[in-house]
Structure 1
Amino acid sequence: MTATRASTNEIVQIEIQRHKQLQNVDVIAFDMDMTLVRYNNPNVIQSVYNCMIDILQPKFPFLQNKPIDMSFCQRGLVIDITNGYVLKLDNQKRVVKAYFGNSIVPKETIDKVYHDDTQPLASFTGDMGTRFFSLVSFFESSSSLIFRDFSQHLIDESKKTGQPIDNNEFKKMIKVMLEAYNIHFSDFHKGLYYSEFEKNPGKFIYKAPKEVLSFLLDLKSRGVKTILATNSISEYTECVMNYSFGENYHQYFDLVIVQAQKPDFFHGDKPFYYLENHNVKATPDLITSKIQFNTTAMYKGGNVKCLLENLAPLLPKPEEPLSFCYVGDNLIGDVVAPKKINWLTIAIIEEIADPDEVIILKKRQQQKVLVNNGGNSDEENTPISTNTASSYEWGSFFHVHDDHSSLSIDSFWAHLIKNNADIVVPSVFTLAEYFYSDKFDHETLSPCAVVYGAL
């Protein structure tokens, strides 16, 4: 669809409005993993897979540790714990593709299970539930492959024995998977992933580009409060930031929050714990409602209400409402949750750096989408894309083509992004470039990748 002159002008005005709003925020909070710190996704996905198999194999010996099939590990898939299916959803929460083991589920079966008399996905929001398990991040994406192989084993055994599949086995499997995540990711000194990471962080993450470091320092010099707010544990945060940003990484932030437990951080009431350093254990005597800024300490947990109370007196006009922005990659914890409390939201979506995905994003829909080519080709240490859209077993992350109706529609996650993110960029590097640019190419709106919203 070709934009008219009028619609192009409208798009430019939206872009300018968003840019001014961003340049005038009081506080910018950043997620760490896959936001401020870029990851080598294939290596991370393989490592997490190995960690899961380490726990699963003793209970399910048929699961083998092997090089994983990246084409099946698209993030955003949904596991149906009741039926053992792996699903991809469209913007109406309809199942457009499903696998049961190695086989594609026929459309007739999909309609019968999900679309006809009962609609079990009607209340699905993307959160983890009792029936549906969302694989929102790259850390979780290998679970789709594990679940596929598990289901295929049950199918094969059913054929051999002539006995029907016991669907309770799927629930048992998910329970052990969650236990495996807890074992490997809750204790820095016991987790297999953490041990491998500590030995060779360069295998998993990239050094922060100098442009990003300068961007953060300049924000602080302008009086903008910069916050690192991550769900990662303190020891891992220290290890990651030391490698990517340097041992003096605290200089880039007014405050460092670990184990924030997003999305609850944005609407809950959990207290802050003051950790003098990353090795301190959070005990009740360390609970505090008073936050010290610009120190080398960390704060664990907490909530937005307490954060606001501590920030307001530090700003030039404490009597005026604060303007907040959150930057992150997790579509639930970093985009939907802060948007619910009316923060400006910036989604870091690596998939839009994929040339095939950019073509999809350039489609104008409902006069709300503004795009360009991502503009980060000069970024230092840019990770290689995990996949291209054409190589996905599942197709595009953003886009669904319905062969039966010959229509092209948004995926569930693209719809969620469009309704909750104000700005979408592939990296903080691109965000830094966009932040300082006062003039935009009217055709591509370069250097910004995508801006949502209407006047």
Structure 2
Amino acid sequence: MLWDPESCSSTRSTQPPLTKSAGASQQTPKRMMLWAVKTAQRGRLLKGGRHFGRSAGREGEAPEEPEPGQEQQQAGRRSLARRSRLHQQEEALDTARESAASAMSHRASSSSSSFSLADCEVIGFDLDHTLCRYHLAHSAPLIYESFAQYMVKEKGYDKELLNVTPESWDFCCKGLVLDMEDGNFLKLSEDGSVLRASHGTKHMTPEEILETYGRKEWKHFKTMSGMVSRSAKYYSYDNYFDLPGALLCARIVDGLNKHSPRRKYEFWKDIIAAIQHNYKTSAFKAPGRWPPTLHVVLHTTVQAPPAYSTENCGTYFPEVKSNPEKYIQYCPDSVKKWLRRLKDNGKILLLITSSHSDYCRLLCEHTLGNDFADLFDIIISNALKPGFFSQSPNQRPFRTLENDEEQEALPALDKPGWYSQGNSTHLYELLKKMTGKLEPKVVYFGDSMHSDIFAAHHYNNWETVLILEELSGDHDMFSTETESEPLEKKGKYERHHPKALNYASKQWGSFFVDGVSGKGGAEEILVNTWSCKCVCAYSTITIPSIEAIADLPLDYRFTRFSSSGSVTAGYYPKPPKSLLSSGEPMATK
């Protein structure tokens, strides 16, 4: 949830991101050109009947002695053959350029500026913060506490970590990048320059940023932005499970600096240990999972059966299990009806979550009801995204489940059901059989740019719908700024209410845009953030919640993002006000 082991994998693909397209299948111009060259060359060779150049004599025959003047003739023929080959290659390249241009022209003419669920045979969903939404005001402090308790009690960190004020939560903002070597948090522009920064939680002044980073592109930007990746040197925060961890890491940097200011930080291994302690599979299988009578028996007379570990570790799972309604929102009736409407219209529904099966079941039963499994044709838990989309079947096979325990690896996926781990390659083969189509069109809904949206778009070229609660927070923030009373008129408790995580941070500003000083003291200008650029590049459309589209007809046509369109085009129901205030034109249908 907080730390992604996939980010350090050396087996992930490093192919460049695909360009934006409305179709389900796509070739880059370079690939099409290579294909055209090979095709043209094959055609000419077949037409000519044989390859140009010298042919060897038959086996056992001695080479013939050249007659007088024959060497010059052979040299002339070889020179002619070389010129002929060069001419053929030039013609083949011309043919390739024409083929590539023709294909690109065809894609441009056939691509649509709109997107509709009616055009998709398969509709997939992430679970956490997508279908299942949390009460962030309660879930974020719980996540923070689960890590802070471990760091203080097990690793000996300062007890001050346990004291969090309401104002502290203003630090949390999606789109931040942690430079793990320096302990600096960065907000990046779309060109990779540093817009804002902090050392720990301490705001860095424009002068400090300029001295540390200059106006140039951040050193890891090309690597990170090319694959929306994470590594052992940096970490991007793009979802609500991550944000409490950002606050914790920043406060640890603050605490370490109090005792001895340093240039390098190496507490990350302790953070990983805290994650493993709280979120390993056995942490959910604590005694609270069994009825009270069985719980007593297991602790007084007999040992627990192997499939049901009695290890009661961590803070997060035990608390959510004991009080789910405090942390998990009920799914609106409109969304449940919408899911059934999709099923009734012949759509294949997928649930693909990185949560383990037992936690997945808890969330779904509370959110969607005890019959939630009837809504989905295929459920995949412990999917370990983004690896699910990028890894090969050999690296990440599907596994069956028995009492929430993973069983043997499957050589293929041959029928619908509930599975664990897996890969999108075998899933897509099954979807072909289920739909009877060679290229069924898939759309995937998710909240994480790194794990859901980029991965599904880049590795599989699926349509993607980003769930971005900041879209509604942006509008709510503008409304609050214009309509609310001044701070001095507010009550004692009202002014100390924590900032909602989807609202813009005072320290970090808008998720979508930020200001930069013009050169030579010129007036400040607004620029788009790297996070905003990713939204436009990798999502088909972006919405604040599934509820926002649940009452629309299934054949409703959304304006989609495209490389040639406005950066506001794909937001529904309307673009963020901060983008419009930056001078971006309003997209029209």
- What TM-score range do you get, normalising by the shorter chain? 0.7 to 0.9
1:163-209 superposed Cα distances (whole Å, 9 cap, x missing partner): xx3334x22x2221122112111221333201100001111111111
Kept after mapping to 2: 8 A contact 1:424/1:449: no
Shift of 1:426: 0.7
- Residues 136-215 of structure 1: pairs in structure 2 closer than 5 A: 136-158=238-260, 165-168=261-264, 170-171=265-266, 173-187=267-281, 188-189=284-285, 190-215=313-338
SS in structure 2 of the partner of residue 394 of structure 1: coil
Inter-CA distance 184–46: structure 2 relative to 1 (3 Å threshold): same
Match of 2:199 among 100, 125, 143: 100
Taking structure 2 as the reference length, what is the TM-score of the superposition?
0.63
1:309: which partner in 2? 429
Scaled by the length of structure 1, the TM-score of the pair is: 0.80
Is the 1:19–1:435 contact (alpha carbons within 8 Å) kept by the matching residues of 2? Answer: no
- Pair 1:87 & 2:186 matched: yes
Cα pair distance change 1:408/1:445, threshold 3 Å: closer
Counterpart code for 1:448: P
Match of 1:18 among 114, 119, 132: 114
Please say if residues 353 and 381 of structure 2, whose CA atoms lie closer than 8 Å, have aligned partners that are also in contact. Answer: yes
Give the distance between the partners of 2:317 and 2:350, measured in 1 at CA. Answer: 24
Which residue of structure 2 aligns with residue 30 of structure 1? 125
Q: Does 1:398 align with 2:500?
A: no
Aligned counterpart, 2:550 = 432
Larger Rg: 2
Where in structure 2 are the equivalents of 1:53-452 lying within 5 Å? 53-58=148-153, 59-68=156-165, 69-115=168-214, 119-123=218-222, 124-125=224-225, 126-158=228-260, 165-168=261-264, 170-171=265-266, 173-187=267-281, 188-189=284-285, 190-269=313-392, 270-276=396-402, 279-283=403-407, 285-293=408-416, 295=417, 298-315=418-435, 317-318=436-437, 320-340=438-458, 341-356=460-475, 386-387=500-501, 389=503, 391-404=505-518, 406-436=524-554, 438=556, 448-449=573-574
Q: Aligned pair in 2 of structure 1 residues 252, 206: CA closer, same or farther (>3 Å)?
A: same
What per-residue deviation string (whole Å, max 9, x for no partner) do you get for residues 238-286 of structure 1? Answer: 000010011110111001000111111112121001114xx33113x35
Whole-angstrom CA distance in 1 between matches of 2:111 and 2:319: 43
CA contact (8 A) 1:345 1:420 kept: yes
Distance 2:397 2:549 in 1: 31
Alignment-mate amino acid for residue 326 of structure 2: K
Report deviation, 1:132.
Answer: 0.9
- The structure-2 alpha-carbon separation of the partners of 1:271 and 1:249, relative to structure 1 and needing over 3 Å to count, comes to same
Q: 1:380 maps to which residue?
A: none
Residue identity over aligned pairs, in percent, reads: 24
Q: Which residue type is aligned with residue 129 of structure 1? A: S
Secondary structure of the residue aligned to 2:320 is: helix
Q: Using the alignment, how far apart are the partners of 2:525 and 2:196 within structure 1?
A: 15
**How much has 1:147 moved relative to structure 2?**
2.3
Amino acid at match of 1:76: G
SS at match of 1:144: helix
5+ residue gaps, structure 1, are 1-13, 159-164, 361-383
Answer 1 or 2: which has greater helix percent: 2
Q: For the structure 1 residues 333 and 439, does the alpha-carbon distance in structure 2 shift closer, same or farther, using more than 3 Å as the test? A: closer
Following the alignment from structure 2 to structure 1, what is the Cα–Cα distance between the partners of residues 511 and 570? 22
Aligned partner letter, 1:154: L
Count, aligned residues: 401
Q: Return the letter of the residue paired with 1:290.
A: L
Find the aligned partners of 1:115 and 1:141 in 2 and give their Cα distance. 27
